[in-house]
Every structure is written in C-alpha cells, then in structure tokens.
Amino acid sequence: MNAMHNINNKKRFSIKLYTPSFILTLITTVIALSVFIKPSIAESIVYENITDLSALHAQIKKDNPNKESTLVIFDIDDTLLESSNFVGSGKWYNWQRGREVFDPTGESFIIDKAQQFHCMFRTLGTLFEIGSTHLTQSNAIDIFNQQKTYDLLILTARTAKYRVATERELKKHNIDLSSEHFKESGSGYDYQFNDGNRTARVTYKNGFIMSSGLNKGLVLEDFLEKTNRKYKNIYFIDDSLKNVTNIQQVWNDKTDLIKIFHYTKVDKTVSEDEIKESDKAKFYFDGFLKNAYPEQLTAFQNNNCN
C-alpha cells in the first residue's frame, strides 16, 4: 500500500510539472536568461587631436590584437595625402561649399557667392585630374604598410567619378591595396546606397571604398555585411570630425570594439592669400571656358551641371 502511494505521488508530481502556469514560468525564465547573457556592447573609443599617424600604429602595437579579427581603416584626403595647392584641397572644398571656415586668427567666415566656382563637382573632377598631392607626413607610407599585418582598407568620401585620378595619386606614393583581403584585384562592388539623407553611388575596387560623401559609418557597416566580415577590433583614422562622429554613432551599439583617431595635423584655416589664389584661379578658369567651351560656360553659369 505504501509503495502504491509513493507511485501515485510521483505521477501527481509529474503532472504538476507540466501545468500551464509552470510552462509560463519556464518561458519567462528562459527569456530573462537570454537577456542576461546577451553579448555586452563595446563602447567606441575616440582619440582626439592626433597630429601623428604613429599614434595609430603605437596603439595597435600596444593592444596587440588578433590578426585574423582586426581591421584597420585609413581616410585619404588630409589623412594620408594632402593637396599640393589650396585650390582643390579639402579646406578649399569646404569653403567653396559655403561651410563655416576659420582664418589663421580664429575668426569664422563663409564664402561670398561670387567667389564660388560654377558646378563644383564637375570642376572638382577636373582639379583632381590636373592636381597633385603630397604625403601628410614623411613616414605616412611606412605607417600605412605596417598595418598590412591586419585586414586593411581605405575609406574615402570621394565619388567614383574621381577613381582614376585617386588611384593615380595613390600609386604615385606607393599606396597599394590592390591585392589585399576583400576582393581580387580588379573586382569589387558598384551600387547605389541610401544613408537616410540621400542616395549616391558607392564603389569598392582595388582596396578602397569611394563613399560619395555619404555617412561613412553606415557605408562601412553595409560593406562589411556585403563581404560577410566580422571583426572584434577596428581601428579608424580620419581628419573629418563629421566622419569620426558618424563612425562612432553607428558602432556604439555593436559588440566589436572600434578605436577612432581624429587626425588634425593638416591646417584647416583659410588665409587671405589663399582666397586671392582661388579668386585668380576662378578668373582664369572661367576665361578658359569662355574661349574654348563658351556653351559649357553658359551652361555652368545657369547651374546646368549635367
């Protein structure tokens, strides 16, 4: 009788385990545990006022990250290379776009519309074709090449229309990523991308992405998804505070750690002599168009830039 009583107790206990209330409790517990063990978010780290590319290399060397799970990213303009002339430079572009710039005394100002080149993006392509660059610092290439131990990428705000001129300048300075990591030499991606503000063309080929001024954080995120790449450690260096901020915001909710370096070596102030240089260049450029391509000048003046 006692034996039978024990068996019945076990049966009743077994049935009780699978009551709806127990199942609900079990599900709640599982959900709670899944939240508890969710991978932690790695906060991005920003290093400000970096005036030497060596700071990037030194930090990577100090961290000694795993080679297979690390990506290093460089910007081009005013990070690796700097325009040899004011006209066509990064600060000239910002001034021409009507953005606030500063003179050497710290006073801010914006461009007079009469000083703006017609059809900026058509003109900028011409300037890239005939212009030249120099290294931002003498050891820039050495520092760049030392990062080839890891996956290495160039991410520029330039558009695909300027790829030929850009590759020429990179080649001139022996900056070569054509055989690196992501795609075979000569192959890549070419697509339209919307960053929430506008849609523009993004291309990847021969080791570098041309992002057409889109949000670099979102472009990089999309590119890594396209290439099915995941990294525990990312190092990014750029001269633009806007790009630094965009990268930081996109990566703030990710589990991989990104260290961002805001490179500020290149002088961003615009002097009176530089403005005179640009005004003179515009006068002769418009004169050239008037004599050689008068219909094109008229179209430019009417803001017909196609």
Instruction: Give 182's pLDDT tier (boundaries 50, 70, 90).
Output: confident
Burial 111-133, CB ≥16 within 10 A → b, else e: beeeebbbbeeebbbebbeebeb
Model confidence pLDDT, tens digit, residues 238-248: 999 999 999 99
Instruction: Give 211's pLDDT tier (boundaries 50, 70, 90).
Output: very high
- Average pLDDT (93-117) is 96
Model confidence pLDDT, tens digit, residues 38-89: 445 566 899 999 999 999 999 999 999 999 999 999 999 999 999 999 999 9
Q: Share the mean pLDDT of the chain.
A: 88
Alpha-carbon span 124 to 119, nearest angstrom:
9
Neighbours of 234 (CB within 10 A): 26
Per-residue model confidence (pLDDT) at position 44:
86
Instruction: Give 306's pLDDT tier (boundaries 50, 70, 90).
Output: confident
Instruction: Give 253's pLDDT tier (boundaries 50, 70, 90).
Output: confident
| 117, pLDDT greater than 90 | yes
Per-residue model confidence (pLDDT) at position 180:
66
Alpha-carbon span 288 to 290, nearest angstrom:
5
